[in-house]
């Protein structure tokens, strides 16, 4: 750790990982309900378990992003965080809102809009958290007077995410408009500004892990995030095919969605070429695995599996089936879960005051391969169930309930692959805890030599 205040990142990461584990636990509850029967029908019904599963995902990823920013900004701007206290207040408030939301869901307090179920008052709390965060980061950069492109892209992504949260606060009586603006938040987050966050973190990690030239990397970073917006903004149209919006969205959404894989292919080529050229062997190979993994898996999950069902002539048959679940799982995992785990794995030695060599554990690599393998298996199982569902229910016209009974075997496969994935998550947590407590201020001196070597 070069800057004492960076240690706050450790606690953001710890909170993120605990929420991640909880998300996975709720995933098991969901697949158990798919397999049925459901003894918890009147305790925690599917809808409640599902909103907790997806909301925990958003909350823990955002916690990870904010932690990543608190680790990265001091190093990029070469200064302490403007106010460490404010960072603590922010974390406390954020977790209080998160816990209140989840407990509220268990008691049926919800706004019932997929991904944006959080009650209005708590949503305002989220806005406050973002304001605190952006103020703290902006002041840090201002104090330092040094602002890099990499941190600019990361912070730009987080600031835009805060801005795009606002349309989700507006209530609509017309369901079509309600849907229209819900996608401004959900789509423009995950297929827009969050990719800035991923791109910024990827560039930071590649610079650190490969020793590649910053100017070259940042130049290409602009191309990648430029391609993301070029395709992603109008790509929102693939959500506007069937909700009551005009027919031209079929063309707009189809064409620009077809371009969306370009940004991801660019990202994968970017990561691969950087490491191939550098020839540097960074000792933290686990972090390297997660970094390259993120670039490759997001290409597969968000890019290719997304493309598999965004073309209107395909989507009219697959819309609202497990094809979406297939794409959603690998896209979120590749683009966002892996990049957060990459920055955690990369920063942990410094945060806990150890050398990279000392932190290189077999456990960490096992966690990587089990999670990657488990997620691949789950994605394939959802693909099989989604394709079968599309043919039986949408094309042949079999009833929804009969179709579900025919595809139970695929849910068993989800359960099997999910167990492998969960084992990986458990190993990652054990590895994290084993790294030891975060470094205190007095132990900061040797860490500087490690980090600066």
Partner 1 sequence: MTKATTRRFFFLGTLLFTLVFIGLTIQTHTTISARTHDETLTDAVKRGLHVWAAYNCENCHTLLGEGAYYAPDLTQIVAQRGEVYLGQFLADPSRFYSETRNGRLMPTLGLSQQQIQDVIAFLGWVGKIDTNGWPPRPLVVSGVSVRGLPGVETSATAQGPAARGQAIFNGRGACSTCHAVAGDTVLVGPSLAQVAVRAGERVTDPAYTGKAKDAQGYLRESILDPSAFLVPGDRFSTPVHTSLMPGSYSTQLTGEQVDDLVAYLTTLD
Return the residues of window 189-228 that contact partner 1 according to CB under 8 A: 215, 218-220, 222-223, 225-226
Q: How far apart are CA 60 and CA 95, in angstroms?
A: 10
Q: Residues touching partner 1: how many (CB under 8 A)? A: 74
The 8-class DSSP code of residue 193 comes to I
Q: Do 293 and 338 contact (CB within 8 A), yes or no? A: yes
Residue window 125-164: x/- pattern of binding to partner 1, with contact defined by CB under 8 A: ------------------------x---------------
Find all residues with CB under 8 Å of 416, minimum gap 6, and list them.
377, 381
Q: How far apart are CA 129 and CA 112, in angstroms?
A: 22
Report in angstroms how near the CB of residue 50 gets to partner 1 at its nearest: 4
Tokens of 72: 């990265």
Indicate the residue among 187 and 359 with the shorter CB distance to partner 1: 187
Which residue matches tokens 């560039």? 203
21, 96, 211, 284 from 430: Cα distances, Å: 12, 25, 30, 18
Q: Which of 3, 13, 34, 290 binds partner 1 (CB under 8 A)?
A: 34
Residue window 391-420: x/- pattern of binding to partner 1, with contact defined by CB under 8 A: --xxxxxxxxxx-xx---------------
Q: Given the rule CB under 8 A, which of 33-41, 90-98, 291-299, 361-369 is the region that contacts partner 1?
A: 33-41
Indicate the residue among 237 and 349 with the shorter CB distance to partner 1: 237
Report in angstroms how near the CB of residue 284 gets to partner 1 at its nearest: 28
Q: Does 436 bind partner 1 (CB under 8 A)?
A: no
Q: Which of residues 38-57 bind partner 1 (CB under 8 A)?
A: 38, 41-42, 45-48, 50-51
Q: Do 149 and 217 contact (CB within 8 A), yes or no? A: no
Nearest to 301 by CA among 198, 219, 207: 198
284: left (phi over 0), alpha (psi -120 to 50) or beta: beta
Indicate the residue among 119 and 283 with the shorter CB distance to partner 1: 119
Bond into 451 cis (ω within 30): no
Number of Cβ within 10 Å of residue 428's Cβ equals 25
Burial (Cβ within 10 Å: 0-12, 13-18, ≥19) of residue 241: middle
Q: Which of 308, 325, 355, 361 binds partner 1 (CB under 8 A)?
A: 325
Q: How far apart are CA 256 and CA 246, in angstroms?
A: 16
Q: Which of 208, 322, 329, 410 binds partner 1 (CB under 8 A)?
A: 322
Q: How far apart are CA 49 and CA 33, in angstroms?
A: 10
Report in angstroms how near the CB of residue 404 gets to partner 1 at its nearest: 6
Q: Which of 32, 147, 178, 444 binds partner 1 (CB under 8 A)?
A: 178
Tokens of 220: 């290409």
Indicate the residue among 235 and 374 with the shorter CB distance to partner 1: 235
Report in angstroms how near the CB of residue 288 gets to partner 1 at its nearest: 25
Residue window 8-27: x/- pattern of binding to partner 1, with contact defined by CB under 8 A: --------------------
Q: Which of residues 355-394 bind partner 1 (CB under 8 A)?
A: 393-394
Q: Is the alpha carbon torsion for 398, 401, 404, 408 positive or negative? A: negative
Q: Which of residues 239-258 bind partner 1 (CB under 8 A)?
A: 240-250, 252
Indicate the residue among 53 and 289 with the shorter CB distance to partner 1: 53
Q: Which of 308, 324, 361, 388 binds partner 1 (CB under 8 A)?
A: 324
């Amino acid at each position: 750790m070069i800057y004492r205040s960076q240690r706050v990142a450790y606690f953001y990461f710890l909170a993120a990982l605990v929420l991640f584990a909880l998300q996975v636990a709720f995933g098991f509850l969901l697949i158990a309900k798919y397999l049925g029967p459901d003894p918890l029908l009147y305790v925690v019904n599917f809808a409640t378990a599902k909103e907790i599963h997806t909301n925990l995902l958003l909350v823990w990823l955002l916690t990870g992003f904010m932690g990543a920013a608190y680790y990265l900004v001091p190093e990029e701007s070469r200064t302490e965080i403007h106010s460490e206290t404010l960072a603590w207040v922010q974390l406390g408030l954020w977790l209080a809102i998160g816990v209140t939301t989840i407990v509220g869901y268990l008691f049926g307090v919800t706004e019932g809009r997929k991904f944006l179920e959080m009650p209005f008052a708590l949503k305002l709390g989220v806005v406050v958290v973002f304001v605190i965060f952006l103020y703290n980061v902006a002041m840090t950069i201002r104090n330092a007077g040094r602002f890099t492109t990499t941190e600019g892209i990361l912070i730009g992504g987080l600031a835009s995410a805060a801005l795009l949260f606002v349309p989700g606060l507006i209530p609509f009586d017309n369901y079509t408009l309600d849907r229209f603006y819900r996608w401004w938040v959900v789509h423009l987050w995950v297929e827009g500004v969050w990719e800035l966050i991923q791109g910024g973190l990827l560039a930071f990690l590649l610079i650190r892990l490969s020793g590649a030239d910053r100017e070259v990397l940042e130049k290409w970073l602009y191309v990648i995030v430029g391609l993301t917006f070029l395709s992603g903004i109008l790509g929102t149209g693939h959500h506007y095919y069937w909700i009551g919006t005009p027919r031209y969205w079929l063309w707009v959404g189809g064409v620009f969605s077809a371009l969306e894989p370009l940004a991801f292919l660019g990202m994968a080529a970017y990561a691969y070429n950087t490491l191939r050229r550098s020839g540097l062997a960074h000792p933290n190979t686990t972090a390297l695995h997660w970094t390259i993994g993120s670039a490759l898996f997001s290409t597969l999950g968000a890019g290719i599996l997304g493309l598999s069902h965004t073309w209107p002539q395909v989507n009219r048959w697959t819309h609202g089936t497990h094809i979406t679940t297939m794409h959603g799982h690998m896209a979120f995992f590749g683009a966002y879960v892996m990049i957060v785990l990459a920055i955690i794995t990369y920063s942990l030695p410094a945060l806990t005051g150890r050398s990279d060599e000392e932190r290189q554990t077999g456990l960490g690599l096992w966690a990587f391969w089990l999670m990657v393998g488990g997620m691949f298996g789950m994605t394939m199982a959802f693909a099989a169930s989604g394709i079968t569902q599309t043919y039986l229910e949408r094309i042949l016209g079999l009833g929804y309930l009969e179709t579900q009974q025919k595809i139970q075997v695929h849910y068993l496969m989800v359960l099997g692959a999910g167990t492998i994935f969960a084992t990986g998550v458990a190993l990652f947590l054990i590895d994290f805890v084993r790294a030891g407590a975060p470094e205190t201020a007095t132990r900061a001196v040797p860490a500087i030599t490690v980090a600066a070597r």
